[in-house]
Amino acid sequence: MDKNTILAIVLSVLVITLGMTIQATFFAPPVPEMVPTTERVETSRTTTGDTTYLAPAQSSQVSANIAWDSNLPGSLVAVGNKGNSTPFTFETNYFLIEFNPNGASIASFKLKDHLDNGEPVELLFKDATSNDAFLLYAGNDKTNPIDANFRYQIIGNQVQFTQEFALLEEDGKTPGAPFTITKTYTFGEEDYLFEIDVETRNSENKAIPLSFENFAYTLAFEPQIGPSFTSLDNNYNYRRFYIKEDGSSKKDQVKLSNGAYTTTKPLSWVALVGKYFSLIAIPDATNYMVSLSEVSGEGIPLQSSIYLSRPTIKSAAQTDTFRFYAGPQLKRDMVIYNDASLNSFGVSGLQLEAALDSSSWLGWLETILKTILNLLYKIIPNYGIGIIILTFLLKLALYPITKKGMESTAKMASLSPKMQEIKEKYPDNPTKQNEEMAAMYKKEKINPMGGCLPMLLQFPILIAFYGLLNKHFELRGAMFIPGWIPDLSRPDMVASLPFNLPFLGNELHLLPIFYTVSMIYSMKITQNASTAGSQQGMMKFMTYGMPLMFFFVLYNAPSGLILYWSVMNALSIVQQLYTNKKKQQEAAEEAQNNVPQFPRAKGKGHK
């Protein structure tokens, strides 16, 4: 029994670990242009001012030397009229965006239909020192963005930024022939997908002079996708990079080396994925160099950035189109890009839903459980109550399996007196104890592993429920009990301590404590109290060690997940107590029936 018990524990840990593994793929083919609407027009005021010197970049023969107000030959300078430099807000049906004319960038990117503490969730996680999103860099430089002041105009669902630039001549003072950079953001009516067109146009009929180390410019998404976080554990909160190479049938998770990754292979897409939201970049057919970066400890806990570097432009005019999906990890919002008639951009076959995290071998079971949970929510609009009801239904469905295991455990417990006799008869001989108990099991027709098999059969459902409750999008922000569990996707919190507890942090969670206590009690009433000496150490580990191990592993787990396991433990306790009591009564009745009945003694005179 020792070896089999150890095997059961190892299998449980392995299955839980495998349940966390995420495998999915999606395909992003080239997509056609969109014809934008032109319903509203807003133009920024422009003023004429001195030439603005920007992060100048050196020619391809010299590495970039970025500086302000520099007179170095080859420096990039803005030579056009300045626009209004005040940030402004642009709103669509889905987005609430703050644009910054300095750099034609995005300073805030909020999703109106998804809330964080009652406010639209911020999909751009940055601090006061961070760069904005979608800045341009000269060449493949990634240190000093082109943050000149752009003029802008709003035309329907488009926001268009324009500025003229030039490279300084050899004297370091005279600008060369100007060329124009126009960056246009285009948004759909009911889409989390949007376009960024980068147009470069020379004033002369020759190739655009913007060429540094064989690259014209770099478009960057930085520093991080939201919502904000204080730390990542890669299980309950994470940021991951995925890429899909052209012609490949699957996506690959990127393994960064020293926080960086670069490839010049043609990619269908590159994605930065979080638990609930993702940023997926879908470039056009140009062979961009893709660079990914992770940097920790600089302002925000972790920066995860995507850089798309455009090769040298060999014509007088060029327009590059980048598409980005910036939204929730929800299938209904992604599948519309498989059918051109369902989205504003007329694109099809993007298969963005493949970016959803799901268990590779239990996804079908997760889908079934999710459907039932959503149905319960329609009846009772509280996901916490839905989880409790679904747990009860699962326990009911598993009753035929668990009943047999619990009866076997209870029958073993009823043999405690006989087991105690064996232990007393062979106090210093564990081997003989085990032999005698094995003979007793055979005589009583008991399988010592009878309680383990049902446990193993429940693992698929356990792991599927883990996968569902760990990332079910609708649980995000779903309240169960006001003041205690306001969000089932996060740990419950009863207090914030002024100090850190070892391995736990400074937040006090109540549900993991209840779960651990209930698990210990459940193990105590299901184990055989009179296990032989050689097995007592293992049973103590099963009773106390394993629950404590899971306490630390699950301490920061979503409260919806811990709620499920706690309720399941409570139901198992009730079922086991009932089974134990029933078996004890049956054993007592059987013992009473087996008592020898002697004839009553006759009187003294009787013969």
> How confident is the model over 587-596, as pLDDT tens digits?
677 767 766 6
Is the separation of the CB atoms in 20 and 235 below 8 Å?
yes
- Do residues 322 and 434 share a domain? no
- Order of all β-strands in the sheet with 300-311: 136-138, 215-221, 300-311, 289-298, 260-263
Predicted confidence band at 575 (pLDDT cuts at 50, 70, 90)?
A: confident
Instruction: Read off the CATH number of the domain in which 265 is found.
Output: 2.70.98.90
Residue 309 lies in a domain: yes
Considering the domain architecture, whether residues 76 and 49 belong to the same structural domain is answered as yes
Judge whether 531 and 456 are in contact, CB under 8 Å.
no
Asked if residue 6 is part of any domain, the answer here is no
Q: Is residue 294 part of a domain?
A: yes
Whether the pLDDT of residue 390 is over 80: the answer is: yes
Same domain, 315 and 409: no
Instruction: Express each pLDDT in 233-263 by its tens digit.
Output: 888 899 999 998 887 768 889 999 999 999 9
Residues 95-124 pLDDT 10s? 999 999 999 999 999 999 998 888 999 999
Boundary residue ending a domain (322, 355, 388): 355
Question: Could you tell me the CA-to-CA distances from 310 to 461, 527, 538 in Å, in that order?
Answer: 48, 65, 61
pTM, full prediction: 0.77
Tokens standing for residue 188: 């759909």
Nearest to 384 by CA among 310, 248, 488: 488
CB 338 within 8 A of CB 325: no
550 domain-assigned: yes
Q: Is the domain of 277 the same as that of 418? A: no
Q: Is the pLDDT of residue 213 over 60?
A: yes
**505 or 232: which carries more pLDDT confidence?**
232
pLDDT in the model for residue 538: 62
First to last CA, the chain: 58
Map residue 418 onto helix, strand or coil. Answer: helix
Over residues 134-162, mean pLDDT: 95
Place of tokens 């549900």: 511
Whether 14 is covered by a domain: the verdict is no
pLDDT of residue 595: 63
Q: Who has greater pLDDT, 586 or 397?
A: 397
Q: Is residue 606 domain-resident?
A: no
- Considering 355, 377, 402, which residue would you say is the last residue of a domain? 355
- Residue 188 pLDDT: 95
The amino acid at 2: D
**57 has a pLDDT exceeding 50:** no
Of 330, 355, 380, the last residue of a domain is: 355
Does a cis peptide bond (omega within 30 degrees of 0) precede residue 32?
no
Based on the fold, state whether residues 192 and 293 are members of the same structural domain.
Answer: yes
**Average model confidence (pLDDT) for the chain?**
81
Q: Looking at per-residue confidence, does 440 or 14 come out higher?
A: 440
Could you tell me whether strands 215-221 and 136-138 are parallel, antiparallel, or unpaired per DSSP bridges? antiparallel
Total of domains in the chain: 2
In a shared domain, residues 339 and 406:
no
CB-based burial label for 222 (10 Å; 0-12, 13-18, 19+): buried
Instruction: Assess contact for 207 and 179: CB atoms under 8 A.
Output: no
How many C-beta neighbours within 10 Å does residue 562 have?
26
- Tell me the C-alpha to C-alpha distance, in Å, between residue 169 and each of 73, 77, 138, 177, 209: 5, 11, 17, 10, 12
Let me know whether 350 and 381 are in one domain: no
Asked whether residue 80 falls in the same domain as residue 223, the answer is: yes
In a domain, 141, yes or no: yes
Does some domain include residue 392? yes
261 plus 340 within the same structural domain: yes
Looking at residue 499, its pLDDT comes to: 86
pLDDT at 457 over 70: no
| 451 three-class SS | coil
Q: pLDDT tens digit string along 320-374?
A: 999 999 999 999 999 999 999 999 999 988 888 888 876 667 878 888 999 999 9
Identify the pLDDT of residue 447. 67
| Residues near 18 by beta carbon (within 8 Å), at least 6 away in sequence | 463
**143 & 256 share domain:** yes
* 108 and 224 part of one domain: yes
One domain for residues 122 and 61:
yes
Domain that holds residue 505: 366-593
How remote is the C-alpha of 528 from its chain's centroid?
A: 41
